[in-house]
Structure 1
Amino acid sequence: MWVSSIRLASYRNFFKNTQYIRLKSVSSVAELTPYLSDSSSDEQIGNTHMKNNELTNNTVEVNSYWVTEMLNSLREEPNDALSFFRQLKESGFKHDIQTYMAMIRTFCYWGMDMKLDSLFLEVINLGKKGLGFEVSDLFEELVEGLNAEGPNSLVRALDGLVKAYASLRMFDEAIDVLFQTKRCGFGLSVLSCNYLMNRLVECGKVDMAVAVYKQLKRISVSPNVYTYGIVIKALCRKGNFEEAVGVFEEMEKAGESPNEFTYSTYIEGLCSYGRSDLGYDVLRAWKGVNLPLDVYAYTAVIRGFVNEKKLHEAEMVLLDMEEQGMVPDAVSYGAVINGYCTTGNISKALAFHDKMETRGIKSNCVIVSLILQCLCKNGKACDAVDQFSSFKKKGIFLDEVAYNGVIDALCKLGRFEEAEKLLDEMKDKRMTPDIVHYTTLINGYCLHGQILDAMGLFDEMKEKGLKPDIITYNVLAGGFSRNGLVKEAIHLLDHMKEQKLTPTTVTHNVIIEGLCIGGYGEEAEIFFNSLENKSAENYAAMVNGYCELGNTKNAFELFVRLSKQGVLIKRKSRLKLLSSLCLEGEYGKALKLFEIVLSLGDGICKIMCSKLIASLCSAGDMKRARWVFDNLVWRGLTPDVVIYTMMLNGYCRVNRLQEAIYLFDDMKKRGISPDVITYTVMLDGHSKNLKRDRLSSDTRRNDRVRRDTGSVFWSEMNGMELTADVICYTVLIDSHCKSDNIDDAIHLFTEMIDRGLEPDSVTYTALICGYCKQGHVEMAKELVNDMWRKGIQPDSHTIAALHHGIIKAKKLHLRHNNNSAQNRRLSSVILARPKLLHGDDKYSFECEEHILWYENSTYIFADEFRWPHGSVSSLFSALPNMSWLSQFAGSHGLALAFEALAFGSH
């Protein structure tokens, strides 16, 4: 035992007039210090104790000099020295500069850099007030005390000091240490300089990082390959790409060869600056000349494209990686999955996750947490629960974030017992449920109106030693408010103050909006008026509340009153009010709101313009829609493809195709590429305009011009490699059918199926109309049968097209075959069709003969199409105002009812 070798008698001469603490005997000092090996962890140092020694009644006075000597004697046992140092501190001993120096010497001697860094962090955090000496005093002591032990110990110590300052973002102090070392005649290691520069870059102090790099030669530090990589990253973050290229030249002059890190850093810098396209070009160029590039470089480009919302390009990079023989890792796939989750495209995210797993790449808790959160945000809580179970069965490690995601999903589904079981499951897996998990559960109970359960969980949370934060209180306040518990909400505010938590503006807003959501408008107004210092956010909450109550009148009046005082509520609330006004058809007030925003100089946003344009176009008010559109352009904002498409659709709906074409050309001149939806709108507008012009003079010439215009749109679309969707194909098929181009319509129908697109009922109906119009009833019937085989139920439009085509065919048949008794009977029915009485659901027929004929003629739909009667019956439910038909079907049979529909409404 090291204690037995200590001779305290020789130290007692130094005890007078020094700081000391009183300890029981030498053996009690020994008890403070466990004997551990060099490999012992800090946890073992803190928790492991030696067997108790026998105590005596003697006491020992412990001062700084004695402690320093003790620590020096323990240099060969650094963990014991650290344990002794800590336990003295815990016992009340105040270490001074000498005792700290003793520990620093020991750590430097053994190269224990992490413990050295931790010790410097402690010194800096405590400061003069806690230690009794300045860090600058320690620096001087380091230079004097460690110089004799050799330059390595001194450099190691000062490296630790620089890293500690940099970790705490005390960059001025760290840089000061750099230059002090130069004045003292020695330099730091390049590693600490790299650490400092990298911290500066990560904290956004790019200019300072570049300045440090330029001073390295002055302080006798030679940059290494990683130094150059860091400065390249810094210059790229500033957008100084040419200077960054110059650093490669500096490397060459210094005899340093760039490695994967350097090249990847430059590419990552381009991508982080929003130039992922350039980054990818550089990557491919360097790869072409066989420069060393690794997976990280490709992942940097993928992440860059994802951040720029260019997910298709990100996918292409991933594909390129595989073609280059590189194996994408979970980080590469995770970046793409994150992009699709962020945009809400969960189907693509799951597809990529499946692809990743089929390639043998194991998923991780970060990726699955993204997927679970995306499912919850998109209202697919049930799918989130299923996915969680699937991930668990696959053996994927699920962390606290993943568990919180599925707990949130279960709460949204009202499955609280399962959610609480997951909390227990976490405990079994040695994961401690934290304040976030409890708050999620409390929020779930509140959203389902189970306030007592929420309060019970709130109390349980406190009993377990978890202190609710402001978010927990806000969740509970919202729950009280939505259920009209005003007194409880106010009491909660008082309780927050007792817990030294100040209710924020958000807290007040949660109560205001919560009361309005619950339908307690008067209570919300009373609470709002009770607030002494109302902020703009509080007013915004009241506007939101009025909108929730459907009281747009009060919301608009409050907005106008505030605007007269020069107060403009936040954009989100303005958008909510604008949407409510448009929904109620208050376009005048919506435009007034828009004008007020312009007059107060806050600027307009595309979302506001988009909402207003969409509403005005829907109402057919293209004059005012164009005014909003032009305002957007005049103020330097470029309309996107969505806004242009809405305007084009608006013009087409009011039969102003020429203006739509002018705007379409303007769109392309501005460099905005039309998408499939844009072309679909233009093709549909062209088709409907063609139909309207059929009866005008010079019809043939107009038809030819219109058809040419339509073919131009289709050719442009194919030239841009845009793939038509079902809607686009349907519009084209309908257009060809109405233009009597049935062959082209059939060709398009076949083409869409060959491309893997499944026609819907609208597509089928368009082609059925075309067939019936051309008299091809048999082909129309075959299409209807095809619909049934595929499980696509014909709707009222399909039925109308069918009965029109069949009646037309029967009339033609009667004209050619007017001799048979049955046809004479059918002729009498057609000439004396049933008269349906208007104003009620009754029906009447002019003679019993007609009913007799209907009863004997079931072949048109039921027999001729060979449909089961149950299938025919299901069609009736889709038809509006047809209760008379249901009555008739009940009395005379389904097929007969179809005949009544076909002939009676003709």
Structure 2
Amino acid sequence: MSSSPSAANLLALLRRNAASPAVALRLFLHLSSAASPAPPRSTSFLARLLAAQPAAAADALLPRLLRHVLSFPDPSPHLLALLSCSNVLPLRLSLPAFRSLRALASAPPPPTPVYNRLILAALRESRLDLVEALYKDLLLAGAEPDVFTRNLLLQALCDAGRMELAQRVFDAMPARNEFSFGILARGYCRAGRSFDALKVLDRMPSINLVVCNTVVAGFCREGHVEEAERLVERMRAQGLSPNVVTFNARISALCKAGRVLDAYSIFKDMQEEWQQGLPRPDQVTFDVMLSGFCDAGFVDEARVLVDIMRCGGFLRRVESYNRWLAGLVRNGRIGEAQELLREMTHEGIQPNSYTYNIIVSGLCKEGKAFDVRRVEDFIRSGVMTPDVVTYTSLLHAYCSKGNITAAYRVLDEMAQKGCAPNLFTYNVLLQSLWRACRTTEAESLLERMSERGYRFDTASCNIIIDGLCRNSRLDVAMGIVDGMWQEGSAALSQLGNSFLSVVSDSSSRQRCLPDRITYSILVSALCKEGRFDEAKKKLLEMIVKDITPDSVIYDTFIHSYCKHGKTSLAVKVLRDMEKKGCNPNTRTYNLLIRGFEEKYKSDEIIKLMGEMKEKGISPNVMTYNSLIKCFCERGMVKKALPLLDEMLENEIVPNISSFDLLIKAFCKIADFPSAQIVFDAALRTCGQKEVLFCLMCTEVSTYGRWIEAKNILEAALEMRISIQSFPYKQIIAGLCEVGEADHAHSLLKLLIAKRYTFDPAAFMPVIDALSNKGKKQDADMLSEKMMEMADYNDDLTTDSGKTIPGSRKHDHAKNGQSDWRALLHRDDSARTIMKITKRVRTGWGQRGNVYEHKQLQSDDFYVLENTG
């Protein structure tokens, strides 16, 4: 009688112990041997059982199973059984089984499904090199690739951006299915080649909705909206109704291109004309439209959309709230963002870590130390549980301002709270130390990383290489890059023994090889120093090392040549990159156009823009802005104005810079009516009304157009726009200087009535003017109001150390300018002002407090309302 159980009995034993995989493995090892091997079905079952365990347990148990299987006289059936479940096995565990099988001389080649599973696993882990190697091995083994195999290879080539080779594989396929066409079309769209994707669609036996949606989205992303519209019409003509995915792709692409109003037009049609066959907006439609409004600065429009979502039940997910929250933070509406947090709690929507990280990141990016302290208070208040992203955002904020001490404090707090920093956290601090030339502290940080078991990756090495280049140690950086090819991160030992502790791990040799970013850093540094010949050698070295230069590398050469005034060489680089098969993009041409812009060569810019159109490269708003700037600086503003219409005809939305250039140019030549026309067009096009009003107000003030400036400022006040950056004091003083004291007086009263807080110094010119005109009562009332506002602001600053938003007092102190008290002692009309001030203070003392005194005034404009 055999000592080993039958196949059925062993499988039954394993199933009974399925709850304890380690026990099942011990049974398998004990009951099977070289003399009596287990049946392959048991091997497959046990492999699936072990693979379902946590990663640490699976990594420990599965290799033991593999070693045991290899001890059998004929392990090939068991290896095939293991590979049959490679769809659940990590590649690092299934690949050794495959290699063991291929090493057996007597074993038959694995069947095609086994190769398919391995290739699919390699794709999941982005091992595109392994996909190609497995496919070649399949052919060498004599196995026949099926459609699924070729589709996987096609996908790998598309993911790697190797579209020419992907096209050849596609053309050589003996049989294709709809997935084959879809994979290639999606690859072309991701590569920015939607017209090539359309050719793939044209070759399909029958039109497919998914592929059509892919190409529509591609056209929209590249700005070819008319082509997208034609394809949608073609879909309808062939009986294929565009669905909500089609429309979402169009709306998303238009929003990303800055054409938010066009996107909203489509969205509105979906809402109002769904009975005509248009799909109704879904959750994705609303979310995309909300992000589009927020990204473009249309906060008021976004708020209306949020109300619609709230009524329609589309504001029920934390993801939707996060989009609105991010929009508020991005546009400086921190107070509203905090209100939204409270609304989420009231509506039963549980904020996640990303919710709080939006606020933390938004506050940190405002770049004010005060706000960063607020973030720390927010974190410690207990309303959130900070994670590594939260702390890293906070640390990054301090590092960006050079406050390394505070960044270390955040790092220590993470350790106290049990929140382990990741490598990215350390890299942020490491980058800041290197850029600040604090190499000793950088070495200490490296030792700290070593103590905690961190090992360098290529990103860490790139930070150090970048730091060396920024600190005039370019030759050292180049030596380290050369050493990385042989020694990995151990090449950093050239910087000193303190680096050895974090680079001594032998695995780092494989992990820390130079990549495209490494060479981008070196090429950029060499070009900045004008060492173009050496930069070219590094470009050739990349190619030899099989690192394909991308457009960023070539753009670096173009930018540097233009910066050094060598535009002719920059043009040669453009021609060379085309010969090398690296297609220039909009950014490439913009850099070259910027070089000609600085030389005021508008004719060359026009030629390059024409060349872009011939090659199907869409100019963007930056392209047109360069031409507008060139015309304006040459005094040809009349030629610049039609470019706005041309941009809109080409479905390019002008931005703030476009209007800024034109408004300033028209004001400079005293053509204020044209400046007003541009301003009105900007208000209809852009969402950043505060910036536009401030821009127009400042420009007309600069040229002494005080009445126009006052009208613009009053319009901004009616819209409740913050005037913190407005030249309101200059406008008030200017009105008084040209004898328009009544206008200045009415402007002051409007500021108070609208509950604005502003610098009390703004009162002084009006008090002077009214006193000179004999309007003693009005001057006294203004003086009282000025003193009252100054005392109120002083109390706020003294009590809390804060200044009310909108007040200019803090800004003046910061900029070293005199505050309102200094104006009291100026020479002009000093005696009159001092008498008024003295009388006001005496009056307060006799009558009691300021509030009692105000009740006796008949003009309600002077009631204390400046707390807004």
Q: TM-score range by the shorter chain?
A: 0.5 to 0.7
Distance 1:158 1:276 in 2: 42
Whole-angstrom distance in 1 between the partners of 2:73 and 2:243: 48
d(CA) in 2 for partners of 1:370, 1:860: 50
Q: What does residue 90 of structure 1 align with?
A: 64
**Does residue 112 of structure 2 align to residue 118 of structure 1?**
no
> Which TM-score applies when normalising by structure 1?
0.55
**Aligned 8 A contact 1:769 1:801 in 2:** no
| TM-aligned CA deviation for residue 231 of structure 1 | 4.0
Give the equivalent residue in structure 2 for 1:887.
834
- The one-letter code sitting in structure 1 at the alignment partner of 2:824 is M
**Distance apart, 1:59 and its partner CA:** 7.6
- In the alignment, structure 2 segments of 5+ residues that lack a partner are 365-371, 483-491, 493-524, 537-559, 572-586, 610-618, 792-818, 844-868
| Pairing partner for 1:869 from 776, 784, 790 | 784
Q: Which residue of 1 aligns with 2:505?
A: none
| CA-to-aligned-CA distance 1:34-56 (integer Å, 9 cap, x gap) | 427xxx8xxx5747879x99x9x
The alignment partner of 1:62 has SS state of coil
Query: Is it true that 1:201 corresponds to 2:144 in the alignment?
Result: no
Which of 374, 379, 384 is matched with 1:419 structurally?
A: 379
Q: Give 2:405's aligned residue.
A: 449
Instruction: Describe the superposition over 1:381-420 as per-residue Cα deviations: whole angstroms up to 9, x where unpaired.
Output: 7876665565455444555544555566788336657636
Task: Give the counterpart letter for 1:269 in structure 2.
Answer: G
Q: Secondary structure at the match of 2:39?
A: helix
Give aligned-pair identity as a percent.
12
**Paired AA for residue 405 in structure 2:** G
Give the conservation status (yes or no) of the 8 Å contact 1:127–1:134. Answer: no
Matched, 1:297 2:265: no
Matched residue SS, 1:322: helix
Alpha-carbon distance, 1:679 to partner: 6.5
* CA-CA distance at 1:62 after TM superposition: 1.2
Question: Whole-Å Cα distance in 1 between the matches of residues 137 and 88 of structure 2?
Answer: 18
Q: 1:194 to 1:736 in 2, by over 3 A?
A: same
The structural deviation recorded for 1:475 is 1.3
Alignment of 1:206-605 (within 5 A): 206-216=163-173, 218=174, 221=175, 223=177, 225-234=178-187, 236=189, 250-252=203-205, 256=206, 258-283=207-232, 286=235, 291-325=240-274, 326-336=279-289, 356-362=309-315, 391=344, 394-396=347-349, 398-399=351-352, 401-402=354-355, 404-405=357-358, 412-413=372-373, 416=376, 419=379, 425=385, 439=392, 447=403, 449-450=405-406, 453-454=409-410, 456-457=412-413, 469=423, 471-472=425-426, 475=429, 478=432, 487-494=440-447, 501=455, 504=461, 506-507=463-464, 562-563=529-530, 596=564, 598=566
Q: Which one of the candidate residues 841, 855, 858 is aligned to 2:776? A: 858
Does structure 1 conserve the Cα–Cα contact (< 8 Å) formed by 2:736 and 2:769?
A: no
CA contact (8 A) 2:221 2:254 kept: no
| 2:38 aligned residue | 67
Say if 1:726 and 1:757, in contact at 8 Å, map to a contact too. no
Q: Secondary structure at the match of 1:283?
A: helix
1:162–1:174 contact (8 Å) kept in structure 2: yes
Q: 1:871 to 1:562 in 2, by over 3 A?
A: closer
Indicate the SS of the match to 2:242. coil
Where does 1:792-811 land on structure 2 (aligned, <5 Å)? none
For structure 1, list consecutive stretches of 5 or more residues without a partner in the other structure: 1-6, 15-25, 109-114, 143-154, 427-432, 514-523, 539-557, 570-591, 614-624, 652-657, 691-708, 811-853, 897-906
CA distance in 2, matches of 1:874, 1:759: 18
Measure, in 1, the Cα distance between the counterparts of 2:110 and 2:225: 50
Structure 2 distance, partners of 1:273, 1:344, is 22
Q: What corresponds to 1:140 in structure 2?
A: 109
**Residues 598 and 282 of structure 1, relative CA distance in 2, 3 Å threshold:** same
Q: Could you tell which deviates more after superposition, 502-511 or 355-364?
A: 502-511
AA at the equivalent of 2:444: H
Report the equivalent of 1:521: none
CA contact (8 A) 2:330 2:362 kept: no
Quote the Cα distance in structure 2 between the aligned partners of 1:340 and 1:681.
24
What is the aligned-residue RMSD (CA, Å)? 6.7
| Letter aligned with residue 449 of structure 1 | T
SS at match of 2:87: helix
User: Whole-Å Cα distance in 1 between the matches of residues 328 and 34 of structure 2?
Assistant: 63
User: Distance between the aligned counterparts of 2:449 and 2:15, measured in 1?
Assistant: 45
C-alpha distance in 1 between matches for 2:222 and 2:107: 41
Call closer, same or farther: CA 1:409–1:660 in 2, change over 3 Å: closer
d(CA) in 2 for partners of 1:560, 1:136: 55
**Partner Cα distance (1:473, 1:733) in 2:** 48
Note closer, same or farther for the CA distance 1:749–1:66 as it changes in structure 2 (3 Å cut).
Answer: closer
Query: Equivalents in 2 of 1:288, 1:385: separation in Å?
Result: 50
Distance 1:380 1:750, change over 3 A: closer
Residue 80 (structure 1) shift: 7.4
Q: CA deviation at 1:476?
A: 5.9
Partners of 2:722 and 2:92 lie apart in 1 by: 70
Equivalent residue runs for 1:698-847 within 5 Å: 722=684, 726=693, 785-791=749-755
Aligned AA (2:262): E
How far the C-alpha of 1:607 sits from its partner, in A, is 9.6
Q: Report the Cα distance in structure 2 between the residues aligned to 1:410 and 1:732, rounded to whole angstroms.
A: 30
Mapped contact 2:40–2:77 kept (Cα < 8 A): no
SS of residue in 2 equivalent to 1:328 = coil
Change (3 A) 1:400 1:172: same
Q: Structure 1, residues 835-893: CA drift from partner, whole Å, max 9, x if none?
A: xxxxxxxxxxxxxxxxxxx8xx734545xxx7683258759975964323653323344
Inter-CA distance 236–397: structure 2 relative to 1 (3 Å threshold): same
Helix, strand or coil for the counterpart of 2:217? helix
Question: CA offsets per residue over residues 497-553 of structure 1, 9 Å max, x none?
Answer: 67574573524766998xxxxxxxxxx89x9999995899x9xxxxxxxxxxxxxxx
Amino acid at match of 2:836: A
Alpha-carbon distance change, 289 to 164 in structure 1, aligned in 2, over 3 angstroms:
closer
